[in-house]
Structure 1
Amino acid sequence: MENIEIERKFLINEIPSDLDVYERIDMIQGYLNTNPVVRIRKENDDYVLTYKGSGLLSHSEYNLPLDKESFNHLLKKCDGIIISKSRYKIPLENSLVAELDIFKSDLSGLVLVEVEFKSVEEASNFTPPKWFGEDVTEDNRYHNSYISKYGLLKWRY
């Protein structure tokens, strides 16, 4: 059975003021390949190798566990910018979760939010909260694999 991820991505109008009450995951991720996407990620004390198929709103995604040594070995082989960010999991209506990413280091100032859905129909019918900004789901320049390769869109900020 194929594992499909359906998500929409947004810029934000304002960062919620109460982030300290939400679950936070500190991440470091690098890309071994960007087409197809092959990514490694450290999520707090967990390590994952991810393969993502093509597609912006909907794509296949497979996650495999890594150990710390394998992650550190593969991290040296990653191309482009190594992404460091904190992700906050913010509950929304209808059991949805906003994953607010606040980027660090070279990408400081970039803040994006993603929401995952069970179906394309659910994603299409989603009304974002007021603190969400422009929908950039279909703009591949806001996907982490693109950012790792080309950096920030300086003209947008």
Structure 2
Amino acid sequence: MAIEIERKYLLEAYPEDLISKGTIVVEKEQFIEQTYLALDGDQELRVRKITDLNTGQVEFTHTFKKGWGIAREEVEFAISEGLYDQVVKAHGAIPLTKRRVTARLGNTIIEIDDYAQIHMLVLEVEFPSMEAADGFVPPAWFGQDISTEKQYSNKKVWRDLQQQAGRES
């Protein structure tokens, strides 16, 4: 199983000024809908519909993750639109949605997720190793490091959405 190593930061505001100055170079923008099919302790099974906001191209993925914090096991693969629609309809849950901006900050690729449903901005940086993640010094504007705070995990936020809507999770 592959290991995903990432740090997450809670942004106070979208860095529009850094983008307009060219400090951050936007590479792509996507709209993501994700629904969790199973949650058990530190394991999750989810599906995503990912729409490229520039081209309109749509892809669908199925992902298994295990673990908490900075390094987690991850297996992800493409699925068909039919399979995605079938499992989302059968599950009947409200998808967690986010606008994702993938950009370059110097030599670092960053992803900024704007969760409009819950009014939250999160910046992610993926790393090739734990040493690189541990040695990373973020700019102050990245905000609070929430990499190990479960309350900000996508699955926790998704579960909260289901409870607010009166659905079981």
For Structure 1 versus Structure 2, the TM-score category normalised by the shorter chain is 0.7 to 0.9
Unaligned segments of structure 1, at least 5 residues: 152-157
Write the distance in 1 (CA, Å) between the matches of 2:35 and 2:92.
7
3-state SS of 1:34 partner: strand
- The percent identity for this pair of structures is 28
Matched, 1:64 2:77: yes
Q: Tell me what 2:136 maps to.
A: 126
User: 1:121, 1:4 → 2: CA distance?
Assistant: 14
Tell me what 2:37 maps to: 32
Q: Distance in 2 between matches of 1:129 and 1:77?
A: 43
| AA in 1 matched with 2:74 | E
Asked if structure 2 preserves the Cα contact closer than 8 Å seen for 1:96 and 1:117, the reply is no
- Max Rg structure: 2
Question: TM-score, normalized by length of structure 2?
Answer: 0.80
Is contact 2:70-2:147 (8 Å) kept? yes
**78 and 31 in structure 1: CA distance in 2 versus 1, 3 angstrom threshold:** farther
**Cα separation, partners in 2 of 1:54 and 1:77, compared to 1, 3 Å:** farther
Alignment of 1:4-23 (within 5 A): 4-17=3-16, 18=19, 22=26, 23=28
**For the residues of structure 1 that align with 2:90 and 2:7, how far apart are their CA atoms?**
29
TM-score, normalised relative to structure 1? 0.86
* Residue among 84, 93, 108 paired with 1:96: 108
How many equivalent pairs are there?
147
Query: Residue 69 of structure 2: SS of its match in structure 1?
Result: coil
Match of 1:140 in 2: 150
Please report the RMSD computed on the Cα atoms of aligned residues, expressed in angstroms.
Answer: 1.9
List structure 1 segments (4+ residues) > 3 angstroms apart after TM superposition.
77-81
AA aligned to 2:136 is: F
Shift of residue 81 of structure 1?
A: 4.0
Unaligned stretches of 5+ in structure 2?
A: 52-57, 162-169
Q: Does 1:74 align with 2:87?
A: yes
User: Of the candidates 24, 49, 56, which is equivalent to residue 42 of structure 1?
Assistant: 49
